[in-house]
Structure formats: C-alpha cells, structure tokens
Structure 1
C-alpha cells in the first residue's frame, strides 16, 4: 500500500488551526467500517477503490475510506440533537489507475443541528461557515493557486419540477441527481417509448411492501439453494430490482426535456452568472427554485468575507464520490494538482442522517461538513 508522506508539524498545525478554532469536539472513527453501507452510498463501482476485509463467516468490512459516515453514525447513537466534531486521521482508498497514495491523512469538521434550526437562513449560514473554514485551512498551507468550486445537488429537484415531467420520471431523476453515471443512463433513454419489459419477478415484487418483497426473494433463494454474497440483504436487492424494472417501464424524456437537463448540467461559471443561467433555464416561475436561488445569494455574501469572489466558480452538478450530499457541495482546487485531486471537499448531507438513523429510531436533522487533505494543501507537499 502506498502511504502519503507526513506533513511537517508546523505546516500541519497551520492547516488545522482554522478548524480547531471552530469550537468542535475531538472525535474518532473505527478503522473498520461496514462495506455494505459504503456501497449503498457510492454504488458497486466504488468496491474497486475500497480495501475489503472479511473474517471467515463474517460480514465484509472495509478500511475507513472517509470519516463523515462514521462520525454521523456516532452522533446519532449519542442521542444528541446538535454537535460539532473535529477529526484527524488516516483514510484508505485504492488508487484508480494512478500512482497515488492509498493511505492518506484527512482533517475535517462535521456540524449537526436539529431540523428546526434550518430556517431563517441558519442552514445557509452553516454552509458558508463550513466552506469558509475549509478554504481558510487550505489557504494556510501556502498554495497561491487555489480556487473554490461550488455546487448544489439540491437545486436539481426544483429545476426538475419546473419542467413539468411525469411524476414517476421526475422522482427517478431526483434520486440520481448526485450520481452522474445513472443520470446519463436516463438521458440516454431520451425518446424511448414507455412500457418496456419489467420481468415477472420484478412485477410481482413491485406490488409488495419492502418487507414482503424481501421475504419472498429470500424464499426464492432458499428454494433454488442460492447463498447470497457481498453482504446485501434480500429486502435491499428486491428494492433495487423493482426500481430497475420501474425505470425500464416508465416514460422517457423528450428531446426538449433532455436538452434542458443537459444545459443545466453543463453550467460552470462565476457564481452570479451560473445562478442566473439556472433561473433562465427554469423560467424563474418556480417558488422552490427561487427560494433556493435566494439562499445562494446569502451563502455567497457570507463566503465573500473569507474568499475572493473572483476565485469562485459555480457548477450546480458538482458532486463527489459518495452520493449522500443533497445540498451544497464544494471543492477547494489547486491549479497545479487539477480538479481530479481536490485539496478539500465537503457539503450538506441532511438526508444521510435519516438513512443512517432508520435503525436507531429516527435520525432527522441537518448536517454539513468538510474534509481537508493536508499533504495537498501544503505548498511543499503533493505536486
């Protein structure tokens, strides 16, 4: 395994200082994490980038690929309604075709708040605070070629609503907003006639509850003598089969609708120009979209106090490897390293709390966080 070189202590202290000053509690996360959870969040394609381990007869696990999910789970298990957590430690991800470190240092901050604290601009203020802290931490590393790339997965939903699509089609598109590969597959279906083959098993499963569908699939496995592998349960597999069958049978986008979505996904400009373009494509006749654009005006006003607006870009489709982000997304990028090696990433992930908290009696809340790579932030580090 290729290990990232250490950052000199003075440089590391400067990079972590803005995050330490945010008044957060120190937190850690177990080195081993449940593989199934990360595959749910990033798709099966992520498996090739994870270091998978499995004891004989046990569930598959992976070396910690990031801290956000683990910190969020620990927060939910604590029963606290709000919290700020600072972390620092090694993460592990296999290099995708390049000779890059596979064990590397991450420093980050995760902020949690009750759902009720999202009004009156509180969520936008938290977004701007986290993105600003990430920017200051990266800038403390000494690089002079940094820029702040902003996005918003949450803009896609209101934009889709403004296109007046069929209900099922709109819902499916919203589900894949943060997963470019799946969205491109939907765009590739443009012009197809509805009513594709669903398959007998998928048709039967689609009429059942998730628990009933899972029980039926488990019975089919038992009759066929099938032993499932990979850690996925029957209910989850049944749900995926039904979604795929429904996608094949549902109406496809028209050429005009697909063109509007492609134009939206292609936006990449200064924040003011990019957000104006979003409004133009949607016709500015959607209340939810207008509210989202107003929220961005507040975020940008806050961020302008920390970072030079001329070093900011906005691309609404900006996403990350894990698809739990459902609002603001951002990256701090070095011109020397390029967009494939961001210095920091982060964003809002309110929906992840509900997904993780399903087995803990709830989990609604608001969450936003950031992760900084000190070896990339330091001007004497990665080149």
Structure 2
C-alpha cells in the first residue's frame, strides 16, 4: 500500500486551525460496513475500496472517508445538532502508480436542526477554502456545483414525472445520463411486463424496497452473493424497469440538459445561463436561483476575486450529496486530484435512519495536496 508523506507540523497546524474552531473532535472506526457504503455510492465504488472479511463474517472495508461514519456517530448520540472535526487516515485503492492509497484527511461535518441558516453550506465551503489556502499554494480555485439546482432545472422542463425522477437519480452518473440523452426523440418501447417485482419495487421508498427484497429472498431461501446489498439490487431493478417504460426526452429538452451539464464559468454568468436554458421560471427554479444569490454574498466575501468557478453538474463519488457541492482545485494537480471537497447531504440523515428533515453539510481537506511543498 502506498502511504502519503507526512506534512510538516507547522504547515499541518495552519491547515487544521480554521477547521477546529467551534467543533467537537470526532473519530470513526477504520473498518466500515461495505454493504452500507455500496448502497450509498453504487457498486462501481467497490473497485476503489480495500475490502476485508473475516471467516464467516460480513464484508467490511477500510474507511474511504469519514462522512458516513461521523454521521452515524452523530445519530447514535440523538442530538438535534452538532459540529465535528476529524483527522486521520483514509484508504482508497488507486490505479495510478504515484497515487497514495493511505492518506491523511482533515474535515468538518455540521449537522443542523430544521430552520438553520440557509448559508451554512456556503460557510463550510468558505471554511474549506481558508484551510486549503493556509497550506501555501497560490494556484487554488473553488469550483461550485449544485445537485438541487439540477432537480429544479429539470422541474422547469415540464417532463413526465417518471422521466423527471429518473433524470434526477442519474444526474451524478455520467454513463447513465448520457444513455438517457441518447434516447431523445425515440418512441417509447413498452416493457414485456415480465418484471413484476421491479414494477412493485418502483412504487416504494428505497428503504421499503430493500426490506421487500430481503423478505422475498428469505421466503425463496436465496442467499445473495457478490457483496451487493438489497438496496443496490432493488435500485438496479427499478432503473431497468423505468428505462423500458419511461417516455424519452424531446431533442429540445435533451439539448437544454446538455447545455446545463456543460456550464463552466464564473458563478454569476453560469446562473444566467441556467435561467436562459430553463423551459420556464418554475417556483423550484426561482427558489434555487435565489438561494445562490445568498450563497454568493458569503463566498465572494471569503474567496479572492476570480477564484470562484461554477459547474452546476459537479458531483462526487458518493451520491448522497443533494445540494451544494464544491471542490478546491490546484492548477498544478488538476481536476482529478482536488485539494478539498464537500457539500450538502441532507438526505443521508434519513437514509441512515435519522429524521427526514435534518440538515447536514461537510468538507474534507487533503493536507498533503494543500501544502505548497507537497503533492506535485
């Protein structure tokens, strides 16, 4: 396993300093439940995880990051809100010969009760910027995206409900989204009706669908193999059924979505492009654009002029992000080696068994990438 070099204590202290303010220290077990992480990120994430299994035991993995683990700890406490700082090694398998597979992460996870300030996600992004910039690099930029803005944009196109829901689910998965765009203008191909189980699952919540699938397995005496959990398998069955039965986009709708996904510019110009591409100014889109006006007041005050970039389709490996997403990039390292990442993940709280109206946002910083004398 390739281990990342150590950051000098003085530089590490400077990077850490902004993150610890007002936060409670948190830790998490190095071993994490594999099934849960694959349910959250999809089976494609397996190739990037270090998987371990004791004889007769459930599969686990070395923690790829801290977010899910810290969220679970917060929910176990039963607190309505909490702010946590973490620091420790994380592990991800890498195909690159020069990429570290064990590396240090610092970060903050913020959990809020309903009604908390709407700017907390922008404040966490600004905090990540402050920590990353403390490492001494002078070529940083803060890239901003928004999963919720895509959902609002889709709402403005007046699509059939099933098609709109499908597009929102595949927004962070380029291969699936491109397949949907490639179907534009094609007639609907009705399914043969052979997948009654998929049709039944499609009307349920993710948790209900997984529970039903487990019950079917139990009644049939089936033992699942391959490490895929019931939630992942149920989601795949539903997506397959929906792909067969959902109406296709029109060419004009597909072109609007392609335009949205291609936006990469300064935030104010990018938001104007979103408004111009929309099929109409729906209530959801108006609210999403107004939220960005508020966020940008915070971010423009924290980040030097010219360092903000807007790419609304920006996403991360884990698909639990459902609002603002961001990456801090170094020009020297490129877009595939971000110095810091983060975003809003309200829906993860409910997926882990917490209240459905909880709010959560966090950030992770890689000190060796932030350090001016570090990764090159």
Q: 1:243 deviation in Å?
A: 3.0
Cα drift, residue 236 of structure 1: 5.2
* Alignment partner, residue 53 of structure 2: 54
Give RMSD over aligned pairs: 1.7
Quick check: 2:43–2:232 contact (8 Å CA) kept in 1?
Answer: no
Q: Does 2:252 correspond to 1:262? A: no
The answer as to 2:169 corresponding to 1:182 is: no
Contact 1:59 1:231 in 2 (8 A): no
Q: CA deviation at 1:167?
A: 1.0
Query: Match of 1:322?
Result: 318
Is 1:309–2:267 an aligned residue pair? no
Structure 1 residues 153, 98: closer, same or farther in 2, change over 3 A? farther
Deviations 1:81-121 (A, max 9, x none): 0000000000000113442000000000011101232xxxx
Please tell me whether the aligned partners of residues 199 and 245 of structure 1 are also in contact (alpha carbons under 8 angstroms). no
CA displacement 1:174-217 (0-9 Å, x = unmatched): 122222232222222222322343562x2245236634454334
Contact 1:4–1:105 (8 Å) recurs in 2: yes
Q: Which residue of 2 aligns with 1:106?
A: 105
**2 CA distance for matches of 1:110 and 1:231?**
29
- Residue 234 of structure 1: how far off its partner (Å): 4.6
Mapped pair 1:335 → 2:334: no
> 2:357 corresponds to which residue?
364
Partner of 1:375: 368
TM-score by length of 2: 0.93
Q: Pairwise mapping of residues 51-200 of structure 1 onto structure 2 (< 5 A)?
A: 51-117=50-116, 122-123=117-118, 125-198=119-192, 200=194
Instruction: State the SS of the aligned residue for 1:129.
Output: helix
Match of 1:347 in 2: 343
Q: Aligned residue for 2:269?
A: 273
* Partner of residue 237, structure 1: 233
Is there any run of 5+ residues in structure 1 with no aligned partner, and where?
none
Cα 1:98–1:152 shift into 2, 3 Å? farther
Secondary structure, aligned partner of 1:56: coil
* Inter-CA distance 18–247: structure 2 relative to 1 (3 Å threshold): same
- The answer to whether the 8 A contact 2:15-2:135 is kept is yes
Equivalent-residue separation in structure 1 for 2:41 and 2:359 (angstroms): 21
Name which of structure 1's ranges 185-194 and 317-326 shifts more when overlaid on structure 2: 185-194
Q: Secondary structure at the match of 2:301?
A: coil
Moved more, 287-296 or 103-112: 287-296
Secondary structure in structure 2 of the residue aligned to 1:257: helix
Q: CA deviation at 1:145?
A: 0.5
Counterpart-to-counterpart distance in 2, 1:323 and 1:47? 14
Helix, strand or coil at the partner of 1:40: helix
Name the SS for the 1:330 alignment partner: strand
Unaligned runs of 5+ in 2: none
